[in-house]
Amino acid sequence: MVQTTFFRIRRGPHRLASLLLYCGIITALLLGIASAQDRRGASAPLGAPMAVVGTRGMVVAQERLAAEVGRDVLAKGGNAVDAAVATGFAMAVTYPRAGNIGGGGFMLIHRAGGDDVAIDYRETAPAAATRDMFLGADGKPDNAKSRDSALGIGVPGTVAGLTLALEKYGSGKFSLAELLQPAIALARDGFVVSDDLADTLPDWHRRLTRWPSTARVLARPDGGPYREGDRLVQADLAVTLEAIAAQGARGFYDGPVADRLARAVQDAGGLITTEDLRSYQALIRTPLRGSYRGYDIVAMPLPSSAGPVLIESLNILEGLPLRDAPQGSAQSLHWLIEAMKRGYADRARYLGDPAFVDAPLSRLLDKDFAAKQRASIHADRATPATEMLPPPREGDNTTHFSVVDAQGNAVSNTTTLNFSYGVGLIAEGTGVLLNNELDDFTAAPGAANAFGLVGFEANLPGPGKRPLSSMAPTIVLKDGKVLLVTGSPGGSRIISAVLQVMVNVLDYQMDVAAAVAAPRVHHQWQPDEVRVERGFDPAVLGALQSKGHQIVTPLGQTSANSILMTAQGPRGAPDPRTRGAAAAAE
């Protein structure tokens, strides 16, 4: 038997009514229980969705059809990696604004028995990239070059990453072709447009249809955006997926598909060549390891900044009496904000592609360094960002899914095109929607990317470089076994979202659904402001302001689709902020 829970909030054409409905649902989910005085604290969500429980495994993703594809693989005896690969390729069809084969990402794998593996399939800059490629004639950053033009397209890594994961860590029960069949069928036969796709295609219609090759796929025959109830068929994408099924990664990075991809990028003014595609490699890396209050933290290494920032932030928090302050209280949020601020400042100062930058990770992740950071936190006032100003030399959509199987294996996978629908260009004849991921580089020292993240020399563009990322697939272990699998989309907000889910579960012992639904705050060092979601007690926000924190709303969307292991089995919690799905195999 299988069980799927799908959280769906309509917007459609009735925007005002839909917005009110959305706000009402989110408010109901996130309002604090003012009378609660236990460790869950004052902002434990009221009416939070119940987690879905499974016995033979769980997939939690942002799109229902893809989650069910992965669930079916688990139900047939596949392991977590098998299910993740099937889910990832299906997401490229059914969730095109972030699921992809034209982008990249990170996969974190825990194998029963204690082995942990990180797969880096981040996009790379083409060989012709230069450090000043996103500057205008005046020598200043030209945002249009990195965000709206084909110059922002990085060499895609998703196909290499998913195929490598299956080859090295799959169960051996399924071939790549078998795992690709559901995605091929969804692309070839089509599926009914609903929910997120129906909501976002109208919003992004003008950006997408500026490219004729994209308009032919993602616009109706009458030229308008697809609407709820329409059937979306992606015949060219089906052919590309069939080439991958038949030839593996070579079917994408070499031969006719690669030729079409390179030609489309170059015709649009980009730099990618067939040699860039042919030479791309996904990399197996050693995960970062940390500890927090008796739990083991397994996180992505560079070029993900998330692992270093998460572990540094947790190290700072570990020496604070967080549990003595109710969850969601001004004191607990003050400590979280100050820890985030320091972690994000060091992100800007030190981090980049490890093939090009020697980041001082041993110092940043050291408990003694955290103690010095912690000692600089003032109990009653915010630390100005300028006091942590780093010297110059010293993404909007992503998607995350979590998978566990009955054997104790787990996958935390985050993948992205950067903006929703990436740069918007579908390479003619391939069905592949391409990324604008190179905007994650720093155009010039001290400049900010589309998410406001400031960077310096360590993250300037260069040939073959992988831009620094905030993607944060994370696994928490207890006594060597999986306890929590989490991650999120949301650009610069990803790391802070994951940090708060972890603190809610590990410090406040919240149920995973409540931990995911609880309102969030975010501080990324620059700009020096705290972004908050609706749902906090105004008195709490007032207390933060009295400490000198500048409060700004709204925060912006994150979606921390998570799984918590319990005695009853895995409990899957889709984030109620989006229309995620938990698909359980029983």
335 in any annotated domain: no
The answer to whether the annotation marks 496 as part of a ligand binding site is: no
The answer to whether the annotation marks 440 as part of a ligand binding site is: yes
148 in any annotated domain: yes
Q: Parallel, antiparallel, or unpaired for β 551-552 and 530-532?
A: parallel
Helix (H) or strand (E) holding 177: helix 176-189
- State the pLDDT at residue 579: 83
368 in any annotated domain: no
The answer to whether the annotation marks 418 as part of a ligand binding site is: yes
Pull the structure tokens for residue 361: 């990770």
- State the pLDDT at residue 197: 93
- State the pLDDT at residue 449: 79
The answer to whether the annotation marks 417 as part of a ligand binding site is: yes
The CA distance from 530 to 58, in Å, is 34
Whether the model clears a pTM of 0.85, i.e. scores above it, the answer is yes
Structural domain total, the chain: 1
The CA distance from 321 to 342, in Å, is 18
447 in any annotated domain: yes
Pull the structure tokens for residue 549: 């924190």
Pull the structure tokens for residue 443: 């155009």
SS3 of residue 188 by DSSP: helix
Q: Measured between alpha carbons, how far is residue 180 from residues 168, 177, 268, 288, 344 in Å?
A: 17, 5, 30, 31, 38
- Tell me the pLDDT of the chain (586 aa) as tens digits: 445 554 443 343 334 333 433 443 333 333 333 223 333 344 434 345 679 999 889 999 999 999 999 999 999 999 999 999 999 999 999 999 999 999 999 999 999 987 999 999 999 999 999 999 999 999 999 999 999 999 999 999 999 999 999 999 999 999 999 999 999 999 999 999 998 899 999 999 999 999 999 999 999 999 999 999 999 999 999 999 999 999 999 999 999 999 999 999 999 999 999 999 999 999 999 999 999 999 999 999 999 999 999 999 999 999 999 999 999 999 999 999 999 999 999 998 899 999 999 999 999 999 999 999 999 999 899 999 888 744 333 345 789 999 999 999 999 999 999 999 999 999 999 999 999 999 999 998 888 777 777 788 889 999 999 999 999 999 999 999 999 999 999 989 999 999 999 999 999 999 999 999 999 999 999 999 999 999 999 999 999 999 999 999 888 789 999 999 999 999 999 999 988 899 999 8
Cβ(241)–Cβ(226) under 8 Å? no
Residue of 5, 398, 442, 486 marked catalytic: 398
The answer to whether the annotation marks 491 as part of a ligand binding site is: yes
377 in any annotated domain: no
Closest CA to 195 of 242, 229, 154: 229
SS3 content of the chain, % helix, strand, coil (to 5): 40, 20, 45
Closest CA to 142 of 456, 583, 449: 449
- State the pLDDT at residue 396: 53
Looking up residue 507, the CATH number of its domain turns out to be: 3.60.20.40
> Is 209 tagged catalytic?
no
The CA distance from 465 to 447, in Å, is 18
Write the DSSP assignment of 221-287 as a string of letters.
Answer: TTSSBP-TT-EE--HHHHHHHHHHHHHTTHHHHSSHHHHHHHHHHHHTT----HHHHHT---EEEPP
Pull the structure tokens for residue 544: 């933060």
β-bridge partners, 573: 562
The answer to whether the annotation marks 504 as part of a ligand binding site is: no
The answer to whether the annotation marks 469 as part of a ligand binding site is: yes
Range of the domain at 144: 55-190+233-286+392-585
27 in any annotated domain: no
The answer to whether the annotation marks 470 as part of a ligand binding site is: yes
34 in any annotated domain: no
576 in any annotated domain: yes
| Burial (0-12, 13-18, 19+ Cβ within 10 Å), 111 | middle
Pull the structure tokens for residue 90: 């299906």
